[in-house]
């Protein structure tokens, strides 16, 4: 099938490359010539494991094309995927200007029946707005809903984890397709069934529903996952107070099949492009319908506070004034295997350390370039603070003379460092671990003052124990 992907961001590129991989003829459109130049030059504008190799292989096989030619993109695809950004607006609602502009472009140039697929994460009711824009553009051209210019708007939300998106797309646990029972719905269903047929050969993975339910499903899924994260973080904060070990608790409750282990890891808060904005957008959608989503409002509030948990531990241990203190920071991206810095906990942490007078040397395996750009914007009005932030070429290069190591992202490279080398390089053997990478008992035995999330501060416990007279 001939497929058009509008938008070469995270969702668009993965969708286009994977559909090309299963044999479709894919045309990827973007209005940003810089992105298209990168792609046509053999690179990719984002970091996602396996994506570059997939694109290179399918470019060589001539199954994927990258262009800024809007008219050609509309002519090419019988199925038109809208995969543009939906950033949060000032009030937290999803900004649909790029989605609706994509729909207008299709309406300006389409000839013949088209299936228009909302792949972007959009609020309930967006498909109707896309349909209205298409009808408006066709009317401007003097074209009604004739047989030649029919269309159907479909919702096909993505469920891709950054860092594992290619595998998620190629081995989906479900494919959600929302199609309304209208005059063109059956033809749209046939085309979508044919499009995804390779994924359904062993067993049917597609779940069909109405468009509004499909739009809602995406938001509900992300809201549930965000809720699990905030729940565990709140439990971890309580575990800190009562002396429980949140890792033991996680194993205990995760073994219940009704709960499971996924998204039950305590840490320093979630970030990225999906959870923060989707929770906000769902809260906003509810408010517009006269309802308060009290659970999700609490989820958002807990996550906001959790991004300060490492700073709180640092202040408790080292004092509020950090002037003259130097910190090594490992991990900048909001999660491993991506360079995405959107809503990353590292941004709040580093900004607070700098505001308290500290200097920071930071390292991330892939996100350093993006971090440079982001922090230049974040600290544009604080040049003195920006001057105290540097980026290292390796994790070891951050350590020399540091008063403490702070771990923000759980990259594999950070999970088994040379601890003796760490002790030699650090001014004090002090670690603040925002991802619970190490065992507190083992770290105490190695001589580290180790602070984690929701786990006992073993060194202090041992000192108290040693001070207690024997019976």
Catalytic residue numbers read: 274
Q: Cα–Cα distance between 408 and 268 in angstroms, integer?
A: 7
Tell whether residue 323 is among the known ligand binding residues: no
Residue 438 burial (10 A CB sphere; 0-12, 13-18, 19+): buried
Is residue 358 a contact partner of residue 326, using CB atoms and an 8 Å limit?
Answer: yes
338 in a labelled binding site: no
Backbone angles phi, psi at 153, to 5 degrees: -100, 125
CA distances from 322 to 43, 151, 434 (A): 42, 61, 19
**Is 415 within any annotated ligand binding site?**
no
Residue 54 CB coordination number (10 Å):
22
The three-class DSSP label of residue 405 is strand
Place of tokens 């502009």: 101
Which of 359, 358, 335 is closest to 346 using CA atoms? 335
**What is the rounded CA–CA span in Å between residue 61 and residue 219?**
36
Give the single-character DSSP code of 365: T
* 159 known ligand binder: yes
Rounded Cα–Cα distance for residues 141 and 46 (Å): 38
State how far Cα 413 lies from the chain centre.
20
48 is in an annotated binding site: no
- 390 bridge partner residues: 361
Of 429, 432, 225, residue with least CA distance to 308: 432
CA angle at 265 for the pair 430 and 206, rounded to the nearest 5°: 150
DSSP 8-state symbol, 385? H
**Is 30 assigned a ligand-binding role in the annotation?**
yes
Question: Is 277 annotated as ligand-binding?
Answer: yes
- Residue 140 annotated as lining a ligand binding site: no
Q: How far does the chain reach from its first CA to its final CA, in angstroms?
A: 80
- Binding site annotation covers 119? no
Strands of the sheet containing 404-407, edge to edge, are 389-391, 359-363, 326-330, 404-407, 430-433, 449-451
Tell me whether residue 191 is annotated as binding: no
Residue 342, marked binder: yes
Q: Does residue 432 have a known ligand-binding role? A: no
**401-411 core/surface letters (b: 16 or more CB in 10 A; e: else):** ebbbbbbbbbb
* 60 labeled binding residue: no
Annotated binding site: 30, 35, 86, 121, 159-162, 218, 263-267, 271, 277, 335, 342
């Amino acid at each position: 099938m001939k497929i058009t992907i509008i938008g070469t961001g995270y969702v668009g590129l993965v969708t286009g490359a994977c559909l090309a991989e299963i044999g479709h003829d894919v045309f990827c459109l973007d209005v940003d010539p810089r992105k298209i130049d990168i792609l046509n030059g053999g690179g990719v504008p984002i970091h996602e494991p396996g994506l570059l190799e997939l694109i290179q292989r399918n470019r060589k096989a001539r199954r994927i094309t990258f262009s800024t030619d809007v008219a050609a993109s509309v002519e090419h695809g019988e199925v038109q995927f809208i995969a543009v950004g939906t950033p949060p607006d000032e009030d937290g609602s999803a900004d649909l200007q790029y989605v609706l502009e994509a729909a207008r472009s299709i309406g300006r140039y389409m000839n013949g029946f088209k299936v228009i697929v909302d792949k972007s994460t959009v609020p309930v009711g967006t498909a109707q707005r896309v349909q209205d824009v298409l009808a408006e553009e066709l009317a401007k051209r003097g074209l009604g809903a004739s047989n030649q210019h029919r269309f159907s708007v479909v919702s096909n939300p993505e469920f891709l984890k950054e860092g594992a998106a290619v595998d998620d797309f190629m081995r989906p646990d479900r494919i959600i397709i929302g199609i309304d029972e209208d005059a063109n719905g059956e033809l749209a269903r046939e085309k979508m069934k044919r499009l995804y047929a390779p994924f359904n050969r062993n067993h049917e993975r597609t779940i069909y529903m109405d468009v509004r339910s499909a739009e809602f499903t995406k938001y509900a899924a992300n809201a549930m996952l965000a809720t699990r994260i905030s729940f565990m973080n709140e439990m971890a904060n309580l575990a800190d107070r009562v002396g429980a070990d949140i890792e033991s608790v996680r194993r205990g409750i995760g073994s219940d099949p009704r709960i499971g282990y996924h998204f039950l890891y305590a840490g320093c808060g979630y970030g990225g492009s999906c959870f923060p904005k989707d929770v906000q957008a769902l809260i906003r959608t509810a408010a517009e319908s006269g309802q308060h989503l009290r659970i999700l409002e609490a989820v958002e509030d807990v996550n906001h506070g959790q991004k300060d948990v490492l700073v709180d531990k640092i202040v408790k241990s080292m004092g509020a004034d950090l002037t003259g203190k130097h910190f090594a920071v490992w991990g900048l991206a909001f999660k491993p295997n991506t360079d995405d810095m959107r809503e990353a906990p590292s941004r709040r942490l580093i900004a607070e350390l700098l505001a308290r007078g500290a200097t920071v040397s930071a390292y991330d395996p892939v996100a350093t370039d993006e971090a440079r750009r982001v922090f230049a914007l974040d600290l544009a009005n604080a040049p003195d603070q920006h001057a105290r932030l540097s980026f290292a070429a390796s994790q070891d290069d951050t350590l020399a003379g540091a008063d403490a190591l702070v771990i923000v992202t759980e990259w594999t490279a950070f999970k088994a460092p040379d601890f003796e080398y760490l002790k030699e390089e650090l001014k004090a053997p002090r670690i603040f671990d925002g991802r619970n990478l190490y065992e507190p008992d083992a770290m105490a035995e190695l001589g580290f003052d180790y602070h984690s999330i929701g786990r006992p501060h073993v060194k202090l416990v041992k000192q108290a124990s040693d001070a207690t007279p024997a019976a």
